[in-house]
Chains A and B, each alone.
Chain A
Amino acid sequence: MLSPGDLAPSPTLRSLAGERHALGVDDGPRLIAFVEVDCPTCRLTLPYLNRLAGLLGERCERLVLVSQDGPEETRALVARYELAVPVLLDEALEASRAFDPPSVPALFLVGADGRIGSAHVGFHKADLNATAGALLASLGLSATPVADAHDGAPESKPGCASRHLSIATATGGAASPEPLDLRPERGARASRIEVSDSEDAYEYCIRAGFSGFLPVVPPTVDRVEAFVAAAGLAPERVIGLVPPCYGAATVEKIAANAVMAGCGPEHMEVLIPIVRAACDERFNLHGVQATTNSATPLVILSGPAAARLGFVSGAGVFGNVARANSTVGRALQLIMANLGGARPGEIDMATLAHPGRFSYCIAENHAASPWEPLHVDLGFAPDESTVTLFAAAAPMEVSEHTARKAEGVLRTIAATLSVVFSWRRCGRVDAVVVVCPEHAATIAADGFSKRDARDFLFENTGVPLRAFEHEGTEGTQSRDGLTEVLIDGERHYRKFADPYQIQLVVAGGTAGKFSAVIGGWLAGPKGSESVTYPIRKEMR
């Protein structure tokens, strides 16, 4: 592949209109993007290139798309993505051979001197922003990022082999018939269902399988339209594809499910980032929905938007305490079943499940917390608000009414932490600790910052080695990678691989010394990673 500093070749290619154009630079810098029409990663990249074209405005000819496919398929791609950039065809793969990228998409930024300034393959938000920023800056335009870290797309994704390296292409192979869109921008409008006056719409919804077996508010056209209007987005806009069956969560479908769950229109503001987070690849809703484990997403709101939207963070936070908590959590569950397709006993194979499957949504009690909020802990500004999704088991309550010191409270919590997932399972586990205000006050009064408290829990949560003498029990198959430590003078394996596998959230009422430990599913990239999305107007 050509590298920065190399002279960019200038083969002549045909446009879709059949005109011949030299690819090379004549009058300024240019970004050349090689794509294949059926490469999912190329299709993931195109909306960002379109955004760059919008930022380039009248200078959009500085961005050139080079298609490695024929005019017919390329024309369909241009129409599908409403591409507003010049497109050239490299059917003979002459340009592809000259630039020689191993895979596509491949972005070559060529300077005014005709030399390569940067070369990147695959989808990387950071590279896209850097390349787009450099092009915009070189043209005297503002270097606005084109890829938002929290738009629901992954940070990076490898591309497909460039066609000039593919044997199939050399023998006349071409695009596959049904290319995969990993992140379509628009989906189909929802159909309308006429329910006759002789039938109760409320009963119809239950019979039709819309409801998760609790009564629902019938999603009438008026109600759904009011929710779509509140979201301020087009009804056909796709927010995410919901695993495991990858139904499109359009704004309209999210609205219909939010209506059914009993939400108010104002809750669309928070449901949009919740659905984005649920469909984030790192969260792995595919596994969470299909596993025999009981895990289901716990939604944690942090920041000022929670109170503004009516979420309760105080007494009874896990219970039926507020419309927002109860209905937003339920809306996500309905979306997961109705659009994700995971129905109990079919694709959802949970052996037991748990009551969080009806609704599992809490807010952080900032007023009663001595520490910085969760969203600030995760790098967001104090005035921002976020939703965090965690693949969660049911809460295990921890009563500690006797300890008057931080260490006493934390040791009791650590004992419960030591059994999350399964007693001897260590390393690939994670947990949320919901610290009640009274416990948080006791811990903070001893000078413990939130980080100190988390570090203490990390250091003091373990499973005694003697537990591993019970051969043939869960966790004894392999002790590879486990860390041995002394806790209270006894040899233990550390329960958690990293302090950040324990998240602390302050919530609950100000009376009563009950905290809760919530075990996760399988932690990390091979299981489910907790994800946090901002509640922001600009990302909508």
Chain B
Amino acid sequence: MTTLVNPLDERAEASGVPAPRLERLEGSTLALLDISKPGGSHFLDRMAELLVSRYGVARIVRETKPTYTKPAPPALVGKLGFVDGVIEALAD
């Protein structure tokens, strides 16, 4: 018998429950979160147009992460607490 010291992070893997799915987009408020990669805004501009014209989204809120290399600051996440859903977009 050989006894080894476990070299791994032994915490139980964090498990999260996804937020409930939106039943309808019509009349909703959605946030489009740009991670600030170059080109992301082009994609999000078009997304915003389509969400309003094709799916009847009532309001689009636009926010941008200060840098795509780090998680969104808690203050930014907090600012989006009131919306029905967030679409975070990465583009190059």
Contact = CB atoms under 8 A, between A and B. Distances in A.
Interface in B1-43: 1-11, 38-39
Contact of A220 (B5, B10, B67): B5
Given A188-B10, A334-B7, A477-B38, A284 B2 contact: no
A221 B70 contact: no
Interface string B43-82: 0000000000000000000000011011100000000000
A210 interface: yes
A527 B2 contact: no
A191 B10 contact: yes
A210 B8 contact: yes
Given A218-B4, A247-B8, A253-B7, 12 more contacts: A190-B7, A191-B6, A196-B1, A201-B4, A204-B4, A205-B4, A210-B7, A210-B8, A219-B5, A252-B5, A521-B69, A527-B69
B38 A194 contact: no
B25 to A, nearest CB: 30
A339 to B, nearest CB: 5
Contacts of A528: 69
Interface string A218-244: 111100100000000000000000100
B67 A224 contact: no
Interface string A238-282: 000010010110001101110010000000000000000000000
A495 to B, nearest CB: 18
Contact of B6 (A256, A284, A334): A256
A222 to B, nearest CB: 9
Given A477-B38, A526-B67, A192 B1 contact: no
A168 interface: no
B10 A190 contact: yes
A291 interface: yes
Contact of B1 (A195, A248, A287): A195
Contacts of B9: 242, 245, 247-248, 253, 338-341
17 contacts: A193-B5, A193-B6, A204-B4, A210-B7, A218-B2, A220-B4, A220-B5, A221-B4, A247-B9, A248-B9, A260-B7, A286-B69, A334-B7, A340-B9, A341-B9, A477-B39, A526-B70
